[in-house]
Structure 1
Amino acid sequence: MDKPLEPTGEQAPRARRSLPLAILGICLLAAAAIILIVGRAGTPTDASPEAGFARDMGTHHAQAVEMAFIVRDATDDERVRQLAYDIIVTQTAQRGIFMGWLQQWGLNQATERPRMAWMAGHGHTASGAAVTAGAAMPGMATSAELDKLRQAEGKDAEILFLQLMIRHHEGGVQMADALQRLSEREEVVTMARHISAGQAGEIKLMTEMLAARGGRPYPSILK
């Protein structure tokens, strides 16, 4: 049987050069596999900022939708009713996305972790104190304020709704901005950026609508 040909002359250096290239190729394939595995393992955990944001912002949105339904039925003003409709549609859709993320990440919608734990130390209350785990979500209306809104009608309902929703949106901006500082997950950061910009725009609109009705916003909670 003929022996395999040994590289000779110029073939020998080429053969020696091909070995490092082959090793490099194997290393690149291995690195790609590791990145894929780590990417899958990098799904947000129950204690992650992403999961906390999805849950807490979902709760935050739910109250905004509740207030929007209340004022929609309490006034005949078309601009206020249109604003309420926009909030209902937009924030209901976003809340559905939050719940979908949790399902995709294999996490429950509810958790035993205290609310705002993900934002603790990365945001501030109206008094300027740092947000702590278990703190009330910024901008949320109290039960007494919701009861007052339910009892109001016409212009009184419009003014109170705008005051409550401006403060509520300011809290949403706080939460969205905090998430952008804490996360690098593209879809969550993009949503937070969208919420921050959208609610800032609505704050400006609602402030103008409030002034037109002779009302003034509550002291801002944004720092």
Structure 2
Amino acid sequence: MRHIGWIAGTAAAALVAAGAITYAVAEDTGSTAKVPTADSADAGFARDMAVHHQQAVEMSYIVRDRTKNEEVRRLAYDIAQTQANQRGMLLGWLDLWGAPKVSADPPMTWMSMEDMPSGEDGALMPGMATDSELKKLDTLEGEQADILYLQLMTDHHRGGIHMAGGCVAKCTVGVEKRLAQGMVDAQQSEIELMTTMLEERGAKPRD
């Protein structure tokens, strides 16, 4: 039953947001506009960022149970809520376009990022934590959990910004490009906040 409270809240919000954004996308593309194909940047970004966001939500649930620090818990809640909502939007667009939510192609092919390896031990895309890092986070308590979470989420946001910037450059659906730009702006602001929070704990972001 772990995480049920947060999951219920974020899931409900995501459903509402996804419904609203589906209408926005339909209006934005217009009835005669070309629907993005399964191999387009629009669909690729939606698929990959939905997976990327899911890990951020998972990490935020983990740290919520490992710390009593209200500042960290509040940040984790905000990240979980925002990214669950956005994930609902991304998956809603794929449904609207009739595009698959899972692709046989490796992640990031829509960005032509052959120079960016998938990573090791479960790190699928830029900034994503590895399986061993997630397991470690789930064993820590208090300030140690705070520091690792802030470091992992900083890395995660850096990768997310890179991906969202790619959509801003390559996606064709206006409302999706605007959402991607909003991700860039919001996550950069959160990186600055997390850097300050790490400094207050005698730590810093990882190189």
Name the structure 2 match of 1:210: 198
Contact kept, 8 Å, 1:119 with 1:131, in 2: the verdict is no
Select which of 107, 130, 141 maps to 2:115.
130
Deviations 1:112-144 (A, max 9, x none): 2221110114xxxxxxx8336x67310000011
Select which of 96, 115, 129 maps to 1:141.
129
* Aligned: 1:173 with 2:161: yes
Select which of 139, 146, 159 maps to 1:158.
146
Equivalent-residue separation in structure 1 for 2:173 and 2:80 (angstroms): 26
Compute the TM-score of the two structures, normalised by the length of structure 2: 0.80
Gaps of 5+ in 2: 1-29
Deviations 1:147-166 (A, max 9, x none): 11000000000000000000
* Aligned: 1:50 with 2:38: no
Q: Which runs of 4+ in 1 moved over 4 A?
A: none
Which amino acid in the other structure matches residue 150 of structure 2? Answer: L
Equivalent-residue separation in structure 2 for 1:109 and 1:146 (angstroms): 24
Give aligned pairs, total.
175
* Aligned: 1:66 with 2:61: no
Local SS of the residue matching 2:138: helix
Contact kept, 8 Å, 1:71 with 1:81, in 2: the verdict is yes
Deviations 1:12-36 (A, max 9, x none): xxxxxxxxxxxxxxxxxxxxxxxx7
Deviations 1:151-201 (A, max 9, x none): 000000000000000000000000000111112320110010010000000
Compute the TM-score of the two structures, normalised by the length of structure 1: 0.75
State the shift of 1:38 in Å.
Answer: 5.0
Contact kept, 8 Å, 1:120 with 1:131, in 2: the verdict is no
Greater length-normalized contact order (CA 8 Å, ≥ 6 residues apart): 2
State the shift of 1:108 in Å.
Answer: 1.9
Name the structure 1 match of 2:107: 115
Contact kept, 8 Å, 1:50 with 1:188, in 2: the verdict is yes
Identity %: 47
